[in-house]
Structure 1
Amino acid sequence: MPDFRLSEEHEALRQSVREFARDVVAPVIGDFYERHAFPYEIVRQMGKMGLFGLPFGAEYGGMGGDYFALCLALEELARVDSSVAITLEAAISLGAIPIYRFGTEEQKREWLPRLVSGENLAAFGLTEPGFGSDAGGTATRARLDEATNEWVINGSKAFITNSGTDITALVTVTAVTGETPDGRKEISAIIVPSGTPGFTVAPGYSKVGWCASDTHELNFDDVRVPAANLLGQRGRGFAQFLQTLDEGRVAIAALSVGLAQGCVDESVKYAKQRHAFGQPIGNFQAIQFKIADMEARAHTARLSYYDAASRLAAGEDIKRIAAITKLHASEVAVANARDATQIHGGYGFMNEFPVGRFWRDSKILEIGEGTSEVQRMIIARELGL
């Protein structure tokens, strides 16, 4: 039978990240959140800890770990703050891993050492203003100028994480590069370095949550990059990113579990401190049952992502399992954030309490990297419906 107990190495990592989140992130992140400011110093320290290199080989400066190690780190960070967690998740799952999985050796040598060290960040440009869940409707186009051997890119991308920081090095974008024999769009992936002429980053969004993370719309106006910046095979960009999203959904599930568990932590603490009718509110069965339900949800969602991560490590096809765990964990996060806010009463509506951030941060987990509706579509298709 499966054994979900952590190895000594994984447990040591979890404890290390838990202490970092508690001692370094928690005391200051509320201020960054209120100012909608990116926490560069926290990111720098995560880089020193090796967190950006967790699932990458030592030949590129990585830690030689696995995807499960990344998931554990994401859970512990999100237990305190999701902006920091999503910065790490997007930098690895969406930024560096496509280059690691599909890049040429030259591309890997050029970009990965800077990305796995946390010195630079990379972003993943898939979503467009007119096409959200319909990623196959990509309108951004790239034509190969044979005279100069360059791709010329025109279009825009929306809601792109880590795309406009001072340390963002590149964005990998999907673009229509032609037509397939059966008349469908040929979609390829192309690396666009930051600062390339014609590539502009719009001002950051005013967001409901994840307020200390970096999110922008991107515009490409006759952007020229070398033909060698093609990532993977021409015409395989969409398929490559679908594989990337399957893996990323496991990571988002881990982040969701962290938020859900953080809601339990804060609610238990508050229930012991807050008095009403002459006693701690934690003495009342209504509060006890609500927190018990929250803990049960977090526990089962954790087991789900542990299972998905172990299958990923074993090389199994995880499309259905990744959709299940992302769907379940994200809905658990929203439910726990709602209940934690209710337990805190009026204080749960105040930004000075972590559950206020948790509530604001939870909803995007049912939207980003595939909406709950998309996850249900995938599950149904995988069942043959």
Structure 2
Amino acid sequence: MAESTPDGVERRLPSDEARELLALVREIARREIAPHAAEEEAAGHFPRELFTLLSRSGLLGLPYEPAYGGGGQPYEVYLQVLEELAAARLTVGLGVSVHTLSCHALAGYGTDEQRSAHLPAMLGGGLLGAYCLSEPSAGSDAAALRTRAVREGGDGGEGEEGEEGKGAGGGGDWVIDGTKAWITHGGIADFCTVMARTGGPGARGISAFLVPGDAPGLTAAPPERKMGMKGSPTAQLHFDGVRVTDARRLGREGQGFAIALDALDSGRLGIAACAVGLGQAALDEAVAYAVERRQFGRPIADFQGLRFLLADMATRVEAGRALYLEAARRRDEGRPFGRHAAMAKLFCTDAAMQVTTDAVQVLGGYGYTADFPVERYLREAKMLQIVEGTNQIQRVVIARHLVGPESR
């Protein structure tokens, strides 16, 4: 089942419900998001009111179970929603992707009691999430994180994955100390999914916790001063004796790093979809300009060099879309998709960087000014090559799937 959008993009959708959902998202993007994007990004304004609207519209929990307030949509549909939102404003598309990532640990590894207690508010109650894995000294090497959670009155255990500690509710409180870095929604999130060390060194000593955003001892540093995505706050979070009950531990003790990696496979698909949305927006702007702009007595779209440039841009966008949708369908069918997710994140974000660069070139001097959005698209595209695993890390992941881990 396929349909064409107003910009000529053909969408393959699995149901009438999905078609209606995409139509709703396009209308919200057209009326509520796009008209204010340039002004609010320049001012560094985060559109919290838009996320409240998206939550009321059922768009903050699309891939999760309806029993807990989710939309019950396949990833194939959810990612196309992200693409539409990102095309209107990347801060919004990326924000929805990060929020979805922040819900993953609870939805996938929480107990029935935990999900019933927290997921409805997280998915449809207007709350906004943050995902806390990276640290100042643990970025690509996330397993080296130092933030520590100690069970009150104990040493935090050894981080084993046996029956002891399985699930939550073992009793007692955990006290969390440390610093998380590069946190999207840092300082404004209502809840945080936090990876902290509960045992020895390495991946097996890490556990996952659901921490309220207003927990005593949790503070945010001033937002980072970024070259793009100025409307999306990114900040360090400091945990100074933050206390949470054992009922807020997600999964088994020592399972946190595996939970984090599982979430990132899905999160990378979200970044890929956002990158395609950004690339599509840049392509649309370049085509519209090329048709209207006249030089030497005719539209610049008549010149072969520019026509070929536009053709290459369109090919990159379409190829990226096909790649992220193939990965999404594998996920929906329960097949392994980690390698495809890494490929999609790598290709789509590199494509977005190239397409936005070319869009600036099409507009010439105007493309370098803030009077047109393509200079903003270019600055935003650079960020997508870095977040949720740099593109160099994606190549490591892909290579491991092909030839195995590196020799030591």
- TM-score of the aligned structures, taking structure 1 as reference length: 0.94
Give the Å deviation of 1:296.
0.5
SS at match of 2:199: strand
Structure 1 residue 282 displacement after superposition: 1.1
For 2:273 and 2:209, locate their aligned partners in 1 and report how far apart those are by CA, in whole Å.
29
Separation in 2 of the partners of 1:215 and 1:184?
Answer: 25
Whichever residue aligns with residue 64 of structure 1, its letter is: G
Is 1:170 the equivalent of 2:178? no
Answering whether residue 180 of structure 2 is matched by residue 157 of structure 1, we say: yes
2:39 is aligned with 1:22: no
SS in 2 for 1:286: helix
For 2:133, the equivalent position in structure 1 comes to 126
Instruction: Indicate if the aligned counterparts of 2:13 and 2:77 stay in contact, CA closer than 8 A.
Output: no
- Counterpart-to-counterpart distance in 2, 1:194 and 1:375: 30
* Further displaced range: 308-317 or 188-197: 188-197
Amino acid aligned to 2:283: V
SS in 2 for 1:259: helix
Q: What's the CA shift for 1:248?
A: 0.8
Moved over 4 A (4+): none
**Selected match of 1:238 from 253, 257, 260:** 257
The 5-angstrom pairing of residues 233-312 of structure 1 reads: 233-312=252-331
Partner of 1:40: 48
Q: Say which SS state the counterpart of residue 237 (structure 2) adopts.
A: strand
Counterpart pick for 1:357 among 354, 369, 376: 376
Distance 2:174 2:39 in 1: 42
Distance of aligned partners of 1:118 and 1:87 in 2 relative to their CA distance in 1, 3 Å threshold: farther
- Per-residue deviation at 1:13? 2.3
Identity of aligned residues (%): 42
- AA in 2 matched with 1:172: T
Match of 2:35, as an amino acid? P
Check 1:118–1:367 CA distance in 2 against 1; reply closer, same or farther (3 A cut).
farther
The amino acid of 1:155's aligned partner reads G
CA distance in 1, matches of 2:203, 2:180: 21
Q: CA RMSD in A?
A: 1.8
Change in 2 beyond 3 A, CA 1:118/1:216? farther
**Secondary structure of the equivalent of 2:225?**
coil
State which of 199, 209, 216 in structure 1 corresponds to 2:235: 216
Tell me the residue number matched to 1:113: 120
Task: Look up the match of 1:103.
Answer: 110
* Offset at residue 62 of structure 1 (A): 1.8
Superposition TM-score, scaled by structure 2 size: 0.89
Aligned to 2:3: none
The residue identity in structure 2 corresponding to 1:370 is G
Letter of the aligned partner of 1:177 in structure 2? T
Counterpart contact for 1:43–1:118, Cα < 8 Å: no
| CA shift for structure 1 position 109 | 1.9
Give how far 1:185 is off.
5.2
> Which residue identity lines up with residue 87 of structure 2 in the other structure?
R
Q: 1:36: how far off?
A: 0.6
SS in 1 for 2:388: coil
- Report which stretch shifted further, 27-36 or 148-157: 148-157
